[in-house]
Amino acid sequence: MNASSAQNSLPPNRYERAEYVKPDGRKLWLYSRTHIDVGDIPSPSPEAVAATPHLRWHPLRGEWVIYAAYRQNRPFLPPPNYNPLAPTRDPENPTELPQGAYDVAVFENRFPSLVPEPGPAPTIDGTLTADGVGACEVVVYSQDPNTNVGELDASHVELLVDVWADRTTRLAERGLAYVLPFENRGVEVGVTLHHPHGQIYAYDFLPPVQVRTLQMARAHRESHGEAWLETFVRTERAASTRVVTDAGEALSVVPPFARYAFETWIVPARAATRLSDLSQQERRAFAALISDTVRRFDALFEQPMPYLMTIHQAPTDGTDYPEWPLHIEFYPYLRAKGKLKYLAGTEQGAGVFANDALPEAKAAELRAVKLPGAS
Amino acid sequence: MNASSAQNSLPPNRYERAEYVKPDGRKLWLYSRTHIDVGDIPSPSPEAVAATPHLRWHPLRGEWVIYAAYRQNRPFLPPPNYNPLAPTRDPENPTELPQGAYDVAVFENRFPSLVPEPGPAPTIDGTLTADGVGACEVVVYSQDPNTNVGELDASHVELLVDVWADRTTRLAERGLAYVLPFENRGVEVGVTLHHPHGQIYAYDFLPPVQVRTLQMARAHRESHGEAWLETFVRTERAASTRVVTDAGEALSVVPPFARYAFETWIVPARAATRLSDLSQQERRAFAALISDTVRRFDALFEQPMPYLMTIHQAPTDGTDYPEWPLHIEFYPYLRAKGKLKYLAGTEQGAGVFANDALPEAKAAELRAVKLPGAS
């Protein structure tokens, strides 16, 4: 360790965090394993995008739908190869992020689906409407546009877990009912920005998937006398056929009820409800499994696997939910080399997924992957 | 009308139907506006594909997931440009369909996700399993591989509505609880077979989307004293902003709670629960609106619109469901020219759709479409 990095190092398991306001009024938060030191805070445009989202109630599915049509105040014509998530190099073409020392950046989405103060929802005869209250944030994983979560340093991914935990806590403090961090990756699923990043959606209501999880987890706890996570971890460790990697404090599993061929869940070895519940040791295991999962996906067909990753934590409405199973779900979209899984009639029209692969076989394939650099 | 067609014509509003067994044991049904007259009934292979699907219960989403891994008895290497849905021209390379006189064909899917007799489900410690009982059928709309539902004769689309109604009734007679006809169209959503066709899935349980619809429709009927469809049609006709085409007995509407930009629903003007409830006049209106919808979609961006169409009828478990709203949902996947809608974190992880367009604006765009051949 040289003098400079020793000087800048923080105590182990800690990070620095700083908050800024962008020229267009949006918030930016920087997180770093060393001291944060940045120049001017940029924004692609000095003027805010007018966002007045609202919700409408779907009367047959019984769920809210978000409507977010944007009025842009001026045209924005990015130069070729413009990467809004890279640090600003050319002040004539500002990006979302400053130059300087930091590891992870979070900022309020320029085109949000939900905002803190959306303005009143329209009145529609026969349709229930509501204000589009919430938050949409972008999480930039690294300053390097060419890396990914499988290639980052272990301590960098640990910081990312800390960032998700911190944003969840802070959005909860604003009174939002549910915080969903996720990452959607791959040109195959419409992601045109290759710089490694994820997003966070925060809702002022409990979304339907989470309503259902809570019902199911509560029923399990009542009938089994223990949290669903405890039963699941014990059962999967005993069966062992679907465990991909057991990291002690946490494990990755192709669940017996996987809806996507190589669907992989990361679960803590003990019942926990939010990332903020986890000890630093447990966060380290989570981070290691996130990297391990993405590296296995990418090695599987020798191409970057398009995937959706969602982090399922307990609701943030101020209540404790000891029955809630903290876990991360990865949906890899390739079911075989070159073959994407599409959601068609049975999935979208009936809510019944059809999987042409058995979880036991796919877990074996993921275990058998030869990871680059592994001995 | 010449002598031959007069001789072959059936009474108005009627069709002929014939049932066959393929060489590999699967059933085939042909439907025709004139008398059916065909040669040998083919199958791509004389041997059946072994399908033993089973269900596993997703303990946090509370829904069944279908597992259907196939064992093929022998390799099947189709020749270039082989179209399994075209009538068989070369007996050396049999397709799914015979040559001869018929308009629409339905056959049991060679790679079914659900079958009448699936064999026992495996036992998995900690996971509820069930036999994959049901049916999966393919509906070939026409012998012409280069047409589509927007281009077929009006009476041909009417026959298609009759076929969906007939298949629903017959699958209900087998004791299946829910019948879902659907069409998934477009290379953009993984459909590699361009021959115009749809599918039918029939389940031996009520799928989660339909469970929810039933709950919501029942609550509406109790609180409003009328079926949801009646309220909806009256409200949408009064507002008029979201009606695309009003055909009297039925109308097409971008619903106020659309989840896809150009999402379009076809609803009967009176409360009805199944296609088989509709009079021939109403079926004619439904057929006209199906064509009208697809023609507007295809003209919108001057390219075939990728879409999912699902037909929502009442459950077929022998009970009457006067509250059930019969309707067809079209989800067009393009939200703008060249821009596909993908389901990402908020849709898949939370069940909350985000739509960046307002239904009122998109209905106006669909109304403004200049249809080829229209005056």
For residue A348, the distance in angstroms to the closest alpha carbon of chain B comes to 8
Q: Which residues of B are catalytic?
A: 197
β-pairing, B250-253 vs B264-268, is antiparallel
Q: Tell me the DSSP string of B321-370.
A: -TT---EEEEEESEEETTEE----IIIIIIS-EEESS-HHHHHHHHHH--
Write down the pLDDT at residue A5.
38
Confidence of residue A6 (pLDDT cuts 50, 70, 90): very low
User: Contact B180/A63, CB-based, under 8 Å?
Assistant: no
The CATH number of the domain holding residue B292 is 3.30.428.10
A179 and A213 inside one domain = no
Tell the residue number behind the tokens 């007018």, with chain if given: A50
A191 and A121 inside one domain = yes
Q: What mean pLDDT is reported for chain A? A: 93
A222 and A251 inside one domain = yes
Write down the pLDDT at residue B79.
76
ipTM of this predicted structure? 0.94
Percentage of chain B modeled with pLDDT above 70: 94
Write down the pLDDT at residue B77.
67
B182 and B286 inside one domain = no
Select from A125, A184, A239 the Cβ nearest to the Cβ of B344.
A184
Confidence of residue B189 (pLDDT cuts 50, 70, 90): confident
**Minimal Cα distance from A334: which residue of B?**
B190
User: Is A2 part of a structural domain of the chain?
Assistant: no
Alpha carbon A117 to its chain centroid, in Å, reads 23
Between A72 and B126, where is the model more confident? Answer: B126
A227 and A201 inside one domain = no
Which residues in B lie closer than 8 A to residue A345 (C-beta atoms)? 180, 182-184, 199, 201, 308, 310
- Cβ contact B69:B136 at 8 Å: no
pLDDT tens for each residue of A20-48: 999 999 999 999 999 999 999 999 999 88
Residue B6 has pLDDT above 70, yes or no: no
Reading the block at residue A245, the tokens are 């990697």
Q: What mean pLDDT is reported for chain B? A: 93
Mean pLDDT of A73-95: 83
For residue B114, the distance in angstroms to the closest alpha carbon of chain A comes to 9
For residue A39, the distance in angstroms to the closest alpha carbon of chain B comes to 33
What is the rounded distance in angstroms from the CA atom of residue B344 to the CA atom of residue A202?
Answer: 15
- Cβ contact A255:A263 at 8 Å: yes
A71 and A217 inside one domain = no
What is the rounded distance in angstroms from the CA atom of residue B50 to the CA atom of residue A332?
Answer: 27
B165 and B17 inside one domain = yes
pLDDT tens for each residue of A231-269: 999 999 999 999 999 999 999 999 999 999 999 999 999
B154 and B288 inside one domain = no
User: Is B1 part of a structural domain of the chain?
Assistant: no
Last residue of a domain, one of A152, A187, A207: A207
pLDDT tens for each residue of B204-242: 999 999 999 999 999 999 999 999 999 999 999 999 999
Mean pLDDT of B167-171: 98
User: Is B4 part of a structural domain of the chain?
Assistant: no
Mean pLDDT of B184-199: 92
Last residue of a domain, one of A207, A227, A243: A207
Please give the single-letter amino acid code of residue B80: P
Mean pLDDT of B149-168: 97
B246 and B174 inside one domain = no
User: Is B47 part of a structural domain of the chain?
Assistant: yes
Residues 6+ apart with CB under 8 A from A372: A295, A299
pLDDT tens for each residue of B320-365: 999 999 999 999 999 999 899 999 999 999 999 999 999 999 999 9
How many structural domains are present in chain A? 2
A187 and A243 inside one domain = no
Q: Which residues of A are catalytic?
A: 197
pLDDT tens for each residue of A304-337: 999 999 999 999 999 999 999 999 999 999 999 9
Confidence of residue B80 (pLDDT cuts 50, 70, 90): confident
User: Is B303 part of a structural domain of the chain?
Assistant: yes
Confidence of residue A3 (pLDDT cuts 50, 70, 90): very low
Q: Domain range holding A165?
A: 7-207
Which residues in A lie closer than 8 A to residue B210 (C-beta atoms)? 350
pLDDT tens for each residue of A128-182: 999 999 999 999 999 999 999 999 999 999 999 999 999 999 999 999 999 999 9
User: Is B2 part of a structural domain of the chain?
Assistant: no
Confidence of residue B130 (pLDDT cuts 50, 70, 90): very high
Q: Helices B228-239 and B208-224: crossing angle, nearest 10°? A: 80
User: Contact B201/A358, CB-based, under 8 Å?
Assistant: no
B195 and B255 inside one domain = no
